[in-house]
Structure 1
Amino acid sequence: MQDEEKLILHRRPRILEKAGGRNIKSSNIPYKIIVFTKDLVHTLIEAKWRTLFLILMLTYFGSWTFFGIIYMAIAWIHGDLKFDPITGNRINEIPCIMNAKTFSGFFLMSVESQVSTGYGTWYPSNECSDAITVLIIQLVFGLLIDATIVGIVFQKLIRPPKYSHSEFSKHAVICQRDGKFCLLFRVADFRQTRSIDSKIRAYLFEEARTKEGEYLGKRQQRLKIQDSGRVFMIWPQTVCHVIDENSPLYKYGPMDFIDGRFEIIVGLKGESSYSGHTTQARASYLPHEVLWGYRFLNIVTFDDEAGSFVADVDMMDETERVSMPQCSAKFYDMKKKLKALEEKKLEFLLKNSSK
């Protein structure tokens, strides 16, 4: 039974994959091909490398084939493909394309011309100006293809990565800090490529309906992070969201983090200290991935022998159980207020009784 419950929890739909990728797909986009073709350059830059290489190969092959057919058509019009049935020799002594008798020859002529190989076997003669004109057009067209490809590949190589090498803890935890309920999660930048102007944001996505029963989809609410979300990524950081009366999690108790239907999405955005590029990392926590009554263990220590601080990466997700009220922050605050009122009332009664 426990295995079935774990399987159900694992299959719960999530907006963001655990690794940070979006779990959202668009369908029925009108004129999808036209929309992507109009912005072809950016479409190719955003495409995967294998898709880009396939498109480049098809572009080159299509260009060679197209001009090979043009050369063959010119030769056929010029009569270069007519041969003496007895001797087998070409009727025209000087053809438009030298040594080209089949489509393979014209195709190789097209390839050699566009990539500047120049074996010297297939080449245009001065017999017809049409072949020379097509050759010039192909050379210009080939240069345009090369320039476009170089620009696209260069942009893909120098652009900042979509996601950094930062890593979030597998679980978030809820514990008390100075008597306040806090949501904590841990983030680390193992490559130390982003150490300036890093900022963390967190959002709560939960299903919402109006009083009339209208389904509003996933409502987005921002979770306020301590220190305005700014962190200095010199070692793994434990990020804190205080669950107070302004927090969307204020009314959530332990059971809501077991079978609730919401999702907490966190993101880290910053700049690399080496290149200045802006990069980002994202993660998602479903209710069952938030541990109630736990806190993260300290993983940063000072090594006296090495004379430096050491962050134990293997302990990134290590937690320990702590004492925690089994109620929501809202109910806990109400109990504290009622207790304070009772104490004042008792104090008032004691003062009056002494008189």
Structure 2
Amino acid sequence: AAGPSLSFAEPRRREVVLRDGAGRPAVVPECEVVGDDVHRVLIKLPSGTSFYGTGEASGPLERTGKRVFTWNTDAWGYGSGTTSLYQSHPWVLSILPDGKSLGVLADTTRRCEIDLRQESTIKFAALSAYPIITFGPFDTPAQVVASLSHAIGTVSMPSKWALGYHQCRFSYKSSERVLEQVIRTFREKGIPCDVVWMDIDYMDGFRCFTFDNNRFADPKSMVDDLHSIGCKSIWMLDPGIKEEKGYFVYDGGSENDVWIKKADGSPFIGEVWPGDCVFPDFTSERIRTWWARLVRDFISNGVDGIWNDMNEPAMTTTTKTMPESNIHRGDADIGGVQNHSYYHNVMSLLLWK
């Protein structure tokens, strides 16, 4: 019910594949469907196995005895017991009793429970079927991670300037403060600083793709001054667009029918920094192209990079995100029309695309 098990192994090290006494593969997932279409996978490993990984998670590095949920969450103020953070990676790195390492990936973007509370056992549970992919076992964790990266791809190398020191704080309320009180102070004190980040204070009333006419009246001039002293700038953008007639982003989005809808077909409205907001449906390539045009015009002000924030997607309400019953018009190649629970964990990735 949970799909086939696949394995990626170094072809020159076939002798290390886990097998039982009869020569059969020893890592054979047990699969079952329980409750409301929940697909549960149980992977039993040799006694004494310890666990690491589980993606972005709070708490100790070793994950043995822990349980987490892959559900992108704006988890500000999180503690060691927080079970969901900003990214979702249903992945476990297992260290076997003989010292070898085995990676296990549940290939799903849905909300997934990773339960490591049973001794030497991995439990995954998620809606809809998904394959389990194992990597190894190999001699070292580094070999497992290398095998994983070969399968899913690696992160692109950033620009050279992005590898330096970045300065960011929610308090830069004017271009003068950025230039004179922050960056020039770094220079005067001989402290290297390659990049400064602009939080939402640069906007006009927290409206995305705008600049405050008084405090950031000439962003291009400010960026030119930053560049003249060897500093780049990154500016925040949020997917929450203020619901306000006369605001060009809201008007353009409404004319082009880009907003995520409620189950009744009306635009969903959620609360973020500007107040009531609507949200582009990035599951549609047409809508991603509409957003990309806004970004293109925005960076013409000399912007060096974009800080995509609040794209879990996050709300300032107690639920921290939008209702799972919201409807997305997803393109056919990524799943078609689905409710929000289907697309939640990939919304930030689709925005980036």
Shorter-normalised TM-score: what interval? under 0.3
The higher radius of gyration belongs to: 1
Task: Point out the structure with the larger helix share.
Answer: 1
Q: Under a length normalisation based on structure 2, what TM-score does the superposition of the two structures give?
A: 0.21
TM-score normalised to structure 1 length: 0.21
